[in-house]
C-alpha cells in the first residue's frame, strides 16, 4: 500500500513501490520508477525516465533554520538515478529552488542541500554530502564520504577523491585529492573518455602549469594566461571560473 495524493500530477507508465508517499504539490514525468518507502515531498519536479530507489527522500524541507515554510521546488532532470536513502532538499527563499541536471547519479546516503545547482551527468558517490548553495558543473564526480562546504563551486569535468573535505572552489578539468584538498593534475581519464583531443588537453595542462607550477600567485598567473594568443575555450572556462571565485581556489 502507498499514499499518493490525488492532487499530484503523475505521468504515463510510472511505477510506484509499496509504502511510498507522494504529496500534493508534486509533478512527475513519464516512465519514472519509484521504489518502496520513498518520500516525494511537496515541490518535487521530477522529469521523465528518473529512477528512485528504496528509502530515498525527495524534495524534503531545507535543513536551514531560516526556512519559514515558503513554497519552493526541487527539480530533477531526465534520466537521473537516486539510490537508496539519498536525500535531496528543495530550495529556500534565497533562490526558491534546488536544481539537478540530467543523467545524474546519487549513490546511497548522498545528500544535496537547499539551493544547490548541479549540472548534467554529475555523480555523488556513497555518503557524499553537499552543503547549501553548492554549484557543480557538468560531469563532476564527488568521491564517497566527502563533505562539500556551503557556497563551494566545482568546475565541470572535475573529479574529487574519496574522503575529501572541500572548503574552497575546485576549478574545471582536474583531479583533486589529499588533506587539505589539493590540485593533483588533470582528469585525463575523464577528458579522454569524453572526446577531448590531445591539443585541447595540452592547452588545459599549460593553463594549470601556469597557475600552479610557475610560482606566480593566482592573479598574476591569470594575467599571464590572458596574454596568450592561443586561448582555447577550455582556457577561457578556467580563467572565468577562477576570476568569479569568491572562496578562492584549492592550492597545489
Would you name the residues annotated as active-site residues? 114-115, 132
Neighbouring C-alpha atoms within 13 Å toward the C-beta of 154: 35
Per DSSP, the residues of the chain read --EE-TTSEE-TT-EE-TT-EE-SS-EE-TT-EE-TT-EE-TTEEE-TT-EE-TT-EEEEPPS-TT--S---EEEE-TT-EE-TT-EEE---TTTSEEEE-TT-EE-TT-EE-TT-EE-TT-EE-TT-EE-TT-EE-TT-EE-TT-EE-TT-EE-TT-EE-TT-EE-SBB-TTEEEETTTTEEEEE-HHHHHHTT--HHHHHHHHHHHHHHHSSS--HHHHHHHHHT-S---HHHHHHHHHHHH-SS-B-B-
Amino acid at each position: 500500500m502507498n499514499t499518493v495524493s490525488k492532487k499530484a500530477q503523475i505521468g504515463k507508465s510510472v511505477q510506484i513501490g509499496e509504502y511510498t508517499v507522494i504529496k500534493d504539490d508534486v509533478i512527475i514525468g513519464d516512465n519514472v520508477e519509484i521504489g518502496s518507502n520513498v518520500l516525494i515531498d511537496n515541490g518535487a519536479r521530477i522529469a521523465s525516465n528518473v529512477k528512485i530507489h528504496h528509502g530515498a527522500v525527495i524534495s524534503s524541507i531545507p535543513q536551514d533554520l531560516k526556512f519559514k515554510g515558503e513554497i519552493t521546488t526541487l527539480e530533477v532532470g531526465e534520466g537521473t538515478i537516486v539510490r537508496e536513502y539519498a536525500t535531496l532538499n528543495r530550495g529556500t527563499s534565497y533562490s526558491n529552488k534546488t536544481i539537478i541536471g540530467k543523467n545524474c547519479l546519487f549513490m546511497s546516503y548522498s545528500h544535496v542541500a537547499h539551493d544547490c545547482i548541479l549540472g548534467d551527468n554529475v555523480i555523488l558517490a556513497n555518503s557524499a554530502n553537499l552543503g547549501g548553495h553548492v554549484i557543480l558543473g557538468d560531469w563532476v564526480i564527488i568521491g564517497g564520504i566527502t563533505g562539500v562546504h556551503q557556497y563551494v563551486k566545482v568546475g565541470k569535468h572535475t573529479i574529487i577523491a574519496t574522503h575529501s573535505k572541500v572548503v574552497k572552489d575546485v576549478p574545471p578539468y582536474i583531479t583533486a585529492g589529499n588533506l587539505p584538498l589539493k590540485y593533483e593534475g588533470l582528469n585525463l581519464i575523464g577528458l579522454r573518455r569524453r572526446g577531448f583531443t590531445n591539443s585541447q588537453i595540452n592547452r588545459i595542462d599549460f593553463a594549470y602549469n601556469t597557475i600552479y607550477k610557475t610560482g606566480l600567485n593566482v592573479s598574476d598567473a591569470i594575467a599571464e594566461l590572458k596574454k596568450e594568443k592561443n586561448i582555447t575555450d577550455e582556457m577561457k572556462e578556467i580563467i572565468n571560473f577562477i576570476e568569479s571565485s569568491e572562496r578562492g581556489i584549492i592550492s597545489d
